[in-house]
Amino acid sequence: MLNLILFGPPGSGKGTQSEKLIAKYGLKHLSTGDILRSEIAQKTPLGLEAKNIMDKGQLVPDEVVIGMISCALETNPGAKGFLFDGFPRTSAQAEALDKLLELKGVSINRMLAMEVSEEELVNRLLKRGETSGRPDDNNEGVIRARIAEYHNKTAAVAEYYQKFDKVVRVKGEGGVDEIFQSLCNEIDAVMQV
């Protein structure tokens, strides 16, 4: 099994690159942001609770997203591997993910951390907000709050996997295909091990 985390701040291109990576490597894409937005669209109780938090640019409680991932792992028993996108976002989520994978006798092979400057992130998210319909993308205050959550709570997740030597950093600025190629080079290197 190949289990990867695509990591980076909001707007770093995780969604765009995920689509290309799952197509190439046949992985199951698990994006907590996408799952939450689908819950909101279906107006489930979980979705209604999450919407208020997401609209402010804050993180949804750990137990909610951990439960979602646990359920997604159970419903995909035959997957060749998983691409985690937007998860784990806190150290508690990282520890929970490691335990869930351990139960399946597997682990994270690599964290691919995409690096993009803060001004570029804000510009990209404001531009995406013109067409995405995402309420968290069309307000600069909310975008800055999301980036602050990333620095305060999420950046530490890279340090967690760094301890196990699992992190590779990839430049997230440049053309989409160029960035994709850098990610593929790192994945191909893991697959040869």
Catalytic annotation present for 110? no
What radius of gyration do the chain's Cα atoms show?
16
Residue from 3, 21, 27, 86 that binds ligand ADP (CB under 6 A)?
86
Cα–Cα distance measured from residue 179 to residue 156, given in angstroms and rounded to the nearest whole number? 23
* Number of C-beta neighbours around residue 122 at 10 A: 16
Is residue 172 a contact residue for ligand ADP (CB under 6 A)?
Answer: no
Minimum separation from the CB atom of position 61 to ligand ADP (A)? 7
- Comparing CB distances to ligand ADP, the nearer of 58 and 138 is 58
For ligand ADP, which residue of 7, 82, 87, 160 counts as binding (CB under 6 A)? 87
Bridge-based pairing of strands 81-85 and 2-7 is parallel
Residue 112 pairs with which residues in a beta bridge? Answer: 6, 168
Q: Is 113 in the site for ligand ADP (CB under 6 A)?
A: no
Asked if 114 and 7 touch (Cβ cutoff 8 Å), the reply is yes
Residues belonging to the active site: 14, 89, 128, 134, 146
User: Residues interacting with ligand ADP, by CB under 6 A?
Assistant: 10-11, 32-33, 36, 53-54, 57-60, 65, 86-87, 89, 93, 136, 146
